């Protein structure tokens, strides 16, 4: 297996957090964000929510979903999961993740058959940055 072309890159902002009841696995936090960038060269905005659980080892497990929208009204749904570590105070963390997509858009249809892998980072001020590559 190897990394293929970069699928996309985006910058954004955490728009909300919520602490949820723990089910005994560790603290559970729901985080929502908005971002914008490019995917397959197409400008887009992205809204998503992920659930993070701090494991006893100090590793954070996260899983989430969201919707990418292009300026032309095309939509792409995504689902992802990953692991990370805190990097500072508050929401500051860095994750490595995998992601899959689903779309009816002809222009972005290639996303239906790829698995993306990437890096996501949030800083103490809630700024986010991510890059995703095709996993070949």
Distance of alpha carbon 101 from the chain centroid: 12
The CATH class of 3-135 is: mainly beta
Cβ neighbours for 40, distance < 8 A, ≥ 6 positions apart: 7, 8, 107, 108, 110, 111
Burial class (CB in 10 A: 0-12, 13-18, 19+), 93: buried
User: What is the tens place of the pLDDT at every residue in 99-119?
Assistant: 999 999 999 999 999 999 999
| Domain limits, the chain | 3-135
User: What is the tens place of the pLDDT at every residue in 28-67?
Assistant: 999 999 999 999 999 999 999 999 999 989 999 999 999 9
Rounded Cα distance, 52 and 32, in Å: 11
Kindly report whether the global pTM for this prediction surpasses the value 0.85: yes
User: What is the tens place of the pLDDT at every residue in 64-87?
Assistant: 999 999 999 999 999 999 999 999
């Amino acid at each position: 297996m190897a990394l293929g072309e970069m699928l996309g890159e985006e910058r954004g902002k955490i728009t909300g957090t919520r602490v949820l009841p723990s089910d005994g696995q560790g603290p559970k936090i729901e985080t929502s964000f908005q971002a914008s960038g490019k995917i397959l060269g197409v400008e887009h905005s992205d809204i998503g929510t992920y659930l993070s659980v701090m494991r006893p080892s100090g590793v954070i497990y996260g899983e989430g979903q969201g919707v990418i929208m292009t300026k032309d009204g095309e939509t792409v749904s995504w689902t992802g999961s990953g692991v990370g570590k805190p990097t500072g105070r508050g929401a500051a963390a860095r994750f490595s993740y995998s992601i899959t997509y689903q779309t009816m858009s002809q222009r972005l249809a290639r996303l239906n058959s790829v698995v993306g892998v990437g890096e996501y980072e949030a800083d103490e001020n809630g700024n986010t940055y991510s890059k995703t590559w095709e996993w070949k």
